[in-house]
Amino acid sequence: MAIPILTTPRLNLFALHERHFEPLVAMQLDAEVMQTIGGVWDRERTQRMFNRYVAAFARDGVSRFAVEDKDENFLGIAGVLRHSDVNVPPGRHDEIGWRFTRAAWGKGYASEASAATLHHAFAVTDCAEIWAYTTGDNARSQAVMARLGMPRDTAKDFELTTDSGRTWALKVWLARRG
């Protein structure tokens, strides 16, 4: 068994490993899980995301972690990404995010895992603030942000246009160091 990087009372969080790829693909093919981000992602798109997260962890010491329960069941992903591309909105920033299987919804796993990754990111990076953002209709993610104690910052709201041409109006919450 692999050794988790982070642990909570109910969860183990690991750097993404090949053993997490198939459960990740299955999660990203679930239309209900993916409804708030524009629909399902195919295997190829998920592979690109997976590779990006693995590279981010190697480069930055933080990324999206695989989240498992104590029985080694894959529940989802959560963690902080360091965005250095200043040419896309909102420019250079650090961002916490999560996505969980439907079976994991409503159990507090997103809040528990995200709190651990937020604490970890502040401990191992120099980031002063970490953003979380979502659309105005994503009540589940907004509830996680509230449980994490992240206040809304309407001045940082932004729009993002995807490669497919879809424009997202994103609302921002912030966690600050200390």
pLDDT at 86: 65
Report yes or no on whether pTM surpasses 0.95. no
CB 109 within 8 A of CB 75: yes
For 111-141, what is each residue's pLDDT tens digit? Answer: 999 999 999 999 999 999 999 999 999 999 9
CATH number, domain 6-127: 3.40.630.30
Distance CA 41, CA 49 (A): 10
pLDDT < 50: residue spans in the chain:
none
Distance CA 20, CA 17 (A): 6
Amino acid at 161: T
pLDDT at 1: 56
Residues 6+ apart with CB under 8 A from 173: 131, 132, 133, 142, 145, 148, 150, 151, 152, 153
**Closest C-alpha among 70, 71, 78, 59 to residue 16:** 78
**Closest C-alpha among 59, 133, 122 to residue 95:** 133
pLDDT at 146: 97
Q: Hey, how many other C-beta atoms are within 10 angstroms of the C-beta on 114?
A: 26
pLDDT at 4: 80
Q: Where are the beta strands (DSSP E) in 11-148?
A: 11-15, 64-69, 74-83, 93-100, 129-134
**Closest C-alpha among 119, 106, 47, 40 to residue 75:** 106
Q: Token digits for 142?
A: 């907004």
For 33-48, what is each residue's pLDDT tens digit? Answer: 988 878 889 999 999 9
| Spatial strand order in the sheet of 11-15 | 6-7, 11-15, 64-69, 74-83, 93-100, 129-134, 167-176, 158-161
pLDDT at 39: 83
